[in-house]
Structures are given as C-alpha cells and as structure tokens.
Chain A
Amino acid sequence: DIVMTQSPDSLAVSLGERATINCKSSQSVLYRSDNKNYLAWYQQKPGQPPKLLVYWASTRESGVPDRFSGSGSGTDFTLTISSLQAEDVAVYYCQQYYTNPPTFGQGTKLEIK
C-alpha cells in the first residue's frame, strides 16, 4: 500500500493568515502516461463527511473558494489556504488514487490561533 503522511498533525493559524499543510506519499503518484498526480485533498468538519476540495493535486473542485490551492508533484504535495477564514476550521486529508487500495493521510487538524 502507498502510505500517505501528513504534516503537521495540527496547526493553529490566525484569521487572514496563510495555512500550509503537507502530504508525502511513500511512492510517486505521478502517472507518466498522462503526467497527472493522482492526489486529492478533502476537508472534514465535525459531524460531516469529507468534502472534496482538490483533485489532480491542483485542480479545485467546483464551488471551492480560490483561497484553497494545491501544489506539488511526485511524492510531495501541499494544500495552501491563502487567507484563513473561520469556516476553514476542519481536519484536512490527502488521498492517493494512483493504485489500489486508495489510501488517506492521517489528517491535519486546522484551528484558529
């Protein structure tokens, strides 16, 4: 299985400041034939299911605010929230869909400082 490791486990950021969450995969999730990174990011608020934010490592899902952006390639990825809003408090997960079984990171809990 591909192991996904996120850092940090938790993060406290002031409103309006930048939040950065990292995700590292145990092997590359870049598929050479289409040059795409098979990596997604999800946001999960308490009592809710995960919500898809980003796929192909950097493509925002429809309706996701543009303060959310994904970057990276190969084995190292980043989710950035450019200006933290109160409603962004949540746990964030990365997920690889390069191969079976699809696997998730352990999650990063984002709070307001």
Chain B
Amino acid sequence: QVQLQESGPGLVKPSQTLSLTCTVSGGSISSGIYYWSWIRQPAGKGLEWIGRIYTSGSTNYNPSLRSRVTISVDTSKNQFSLKLSSVTAADTAVYYCARAAKRGDYLYYFDYWGQGTLVTVSS
C-alpha cells in the first residue's frame, strides 16, 4: 500500500520561501509510471494543482504559479519536494502531495494522497 507523507514548517513569513517534502513509502518513486504532484487547498476552498515531477526530474507547473514554484526529486530518499518563493497570505493552505499515473506529458487521476500539511504565511 503506497503512502505519502508531507513534512515541513507550518509557519512561513511573508516574502520568504515555503519548503515542503513528501516522503513516499510502500512503493518506489522511481517506478517510472507515475507523476508526483503537489496540490493545495486554502481553508474552506477548493483544490489547486501546483505542479508535478517525474523520476527523471522533468517537471510541469501550473501557469498560475510557475514563476514561483520549483519541484525537485530525490530518488535515493524516495522523496520529492516543493519550494514556493515570495509567499503571501494568499499562499496559506493545506498542501497535499499526490500520485497520478503518467500519460505522456499529462497525468491521469490522483489515486493516492498524503494527509496534507497546513502552511500558514504570517509574520
């Protein structure tokens, strides 16, 4: 059974960089048939896909966040990470990592999700 677990600071100051890591267990991040994504959800609101990474390191980001997002992968640790720069209060949200099967440059539905971690942007 694949499990994903987010970790990282729960509080980030405005203008700084949000950094989170997702640790995958029960399966290899290098399996080659999945994309690994970050998705966020502001309190009481809907879901926004941030971006995804493949085991090779290739990435695709939501255009709405592309200028501020970097997703990286560490296959030796079975982890992938998110960095979001120049954060504001609008970036306060629960951040989820999730898995979706690969379809060329696109992905399928998200079949496994982490429990999510709340990141608050505040001074």
Among B96-116, those with CB < 8 Å from A are: 96, 98, 100, 103, 105-111, 113-116
Q: Is the interface of B mostly helix, strand, loop or mixed?
A: strand
Assign chain B's interface to a size class: 20 to 34
Interface check A93, CB cutoff 8 A? yes
How many residue pairs, one in A and one in B, have C-beta atoms under 8 Å apart? 55
**Nearest-Cβ distance from residue B22 to partner chain A, whole angstroms:** 12
Task: Count residues of chain A with CB under 8 A from any CB of chain B.
Answer: 24
Contacting pair A102 B107 (CB below 8 A) = yes
Cα–Cα, bound, A44→B98 (Å): 14
Cα–Cα, bound, A98→B48 (Å): 16
Contacting pair A55 B109 (CB below 8 A) = yes
Q: Is the interface of A mostly helix, strand, loop or mixed?
A: loop
List B residues at the A interface (Cβ < 8 Å): 46-49, 60, 62-64, 96, 98, 100, 103, 105-111, 113-116
